[in-house]
Homo-oligomer: A and B are copies of this chain.
């Protein structure tokens, strides 16, 4: 969205000190630069800059989900016990742990950590005939898990954002075809947000040989992979019988091992949940059959953390432009007379905004140029535009890409073509 965010306002400037309790790069940089604030372990507030990044990630996800023909809906976070008892996951939640509560009338509730138990009975009300199938629905919604270890910033939260997509089919071939289309959509999403992912084979549960995880190789990852850096083949070490140095099953190069962050996963659930809720359809020949199901998860908040783990240097975050909170960062550098700088920098920010850019504007008066440059590097917006007395006098600006070392002086008229389209 085209707008101007002034750093003299609250939350738009970094904190002076990094957080004391941050064990991971994403936690430290995102908190210090003013993108998020930790309320308690694994539970974060998104400040204005952080919410802008999250909104950009969500927009990319929505575009790719809508292109798959999936319909967006919004399911509740507060769940009754009954559907979870029906599938056996009230008492046996597997690796994830459900927050449970008792309320008025001693009824028991849970906080949703996934939504198969909610979406399956819901779609049952609307699914009768083969003519109603296939279809897919998704949501971007807050989820909760009582994680024993939530110490990695946005990578493992107790409250986090999730995009969950569910698809419903008449037969396995149709499910498999959609599963592959979702895999391609996920690869487009991760490419667009700047994450290089490996597609790793993981446990498929009782109903299919494998599920697939989308893994970002990084030292801070909690998952362990065996992978081939020649062809991209990968397996989660949890299920792998392969060893480091073994020949890749696909291309015979030697396998490596590495740590990775799982940013998405896709499952062929088949009839696991539709059987539990007796969701059937009448086929063209009049026979009654179980609806088959796939589910596909992708965590926008975890993606935000993973982007920071992969895109940073010793000076701070280096946002890919597709998800950066703003496209340009304008810095006012005051000399003896502030007024010429102020007039010219306002002209520049407004011109950028009118061209569709979202501008972070460092209009703070009581900061040195050095502090402003350091803060800009920490925040990590793609283009830094400096305006000092010299620039105001010559109607030029100083321009530097976040990864560049040298600032270039260019005429104001060349600015829009230099920084490109928003």
Chain A residues with a Cβ under 8 A of chain B: 3, 5, 8-12, 15, 37, 39-40, 43-48, 50-51, 54, 66, 71-80, 97, 99-101, 103-104, 109, 111, 118, 122-123, 125-127, 131-132, 135, 137, 142, 144, 146, 148, 158-159
Output the least CB separation between A289 and chain B (Å): 17
Known: A10-B137, A77-B159, A146-B104. A71 touches B43 (CB 8 A): no
Give chain B residues whose Cβ lies under 8 Å from the Cβ of A45: 73-76, 118, 122
Distance in Å: Cβ of A299 to nearest Cβ of chain B: 15
Determine the chain B residues whose CB is within 8 A of the CB of A15 once the complex forms: 125
Q: A76-B159, A101-B111 are in contact. List 6 more A-B contacts (CB 8 A).
A: A8-B131, A37-B122, A37-B125, A39-B79, A77-B159, A78-B159
Cα distance A101–B144 when bound, in Å?
Answer: 13
**Which has the most chain B C-beta neighbours within 10 Å: A11, A50, A79, A132?**
A11
Say which residue of B10, B101, B104, B125 sits within 8 Å of A148 (CB atoms). B104
When chains A and B are docked, how far (Å) is the Cα of A76 from the Cα of B131? Answer: 41
Interface centre among A3, A37, A66, A137, by most chain B C-beta atoms within 10 angstroms, is: A37
Complex: how many Å from CA A274 to CA B79? 34
Please list 27 pairs of residues, one from A and one from B, whose beta carbons are closer than 8 Å in the complex, sorted by A's number. A3-B66, A9-B71, A10-B127, A10-B135, A11-B73, A11-B137, A15-B125, A37-B122, A39-B75, A39-B80, A40-B80, A44-B76, A45-B73, A45-B74, A45-B76, A45-B118, A48-B73, A48-B137, A50-B73, A77-B77, A77-B159, A78-B111, A78-B158, A99-B103, A100-B101, A104-B148, A142-B142
Q: Complex formed: what's the CA distance from A71 to B142 in Å?
A: 21
- Cα separation A185 to B76 with both chains bound (whole Å): 29
The answer for the CA separation of A137 and B40 in the assembled complex, in Å, is 21
Q: How far is the CB of A1 from chain B (nearest CB, A)?
A: 9
A71 touches B10 (CB 8 A): yes
Given A37-B122, A126-B10, are A73 and B51 neighbors across the interface (CB < 8 Å)?
yes
Chain B residue at minimal CB-CB distance from A45? B75
**Contact of B72 with A48 in the complex, beta carbons under 8 Å:** yes
Task: For the complex formed, measure the closest distance between the CB of A190 and the CB atoms of chain B, giving whole angstroms.
Answer: 23
Complex CA–CA separation, A137 to B100 (angstroms): 31
Complex-state Cα separation, A39 to B44, whole angstroms: 28
Question: Across the interface, do B159 and A39 meet the contact criterion of CB distance under 8 Å?
Answer: no
Which chain B residue lies CB-closest to A365? Answer: B131
Partner of A39, one of B118, B127, B131: B118
Q: Chain B residues near A103: list those with CB within 8 A.
A: 99, 146
| Residue from A40, A79, A103 whose CB has the most chain B CB atoms within 10 Å | A103
* Contact residues in B for A75 (Cβ distance below 8 Å): 39, 45
Q: With A and B bound together, what is the CA distance between A71 and B8 in angstroms?
A: 13
Complex interface: chain B residues within 8 A of A44 (CB): 76
Complex: A5 Cα to B125 Cα, angstroms: 19
Cross-chain contact of A11 among B66, B118, B126 (Cβ < 8 A): B126
A71 to nearest B CB, angstroms? 4
A100's nearest neighbour on chain B, judged by CB, is B101
Cα(A71)–Cα(B6), bound, Å: 11
- In the bound complex, how far is the Cα of B122 from the Cα of A27, in angstroms? 17
Shortest C-beta distance, A21 to chain B (Å), equals: 14
Residues in B with CB closer than 8 Å to A142 are: 77, 142
Quick one: closest B residue to A48, CB to CB? B71
Contacts of A111 in B (CB 8 A): 78, 101
Tell me the smallest distance from the CB of A310 to a CB of chain B, in Å: 23
Select the residue from A74, A101, A103 with max chain B CB neighbours within 10 A: A74
Q: Which residues of B contact A51 (CB under 8 A)?
A: 72-74
- Chain B residues with Cβ below 8 Å from A132 are 10
Give A168's nearest chain B residue, CB to CB.
B10
User: Is the CB–CB distance between B101 and A101 below 8 Å?
Assistant: yes
The smallest C-beta distance from A126 to any residue of chain B, in angstroms, reads: 5
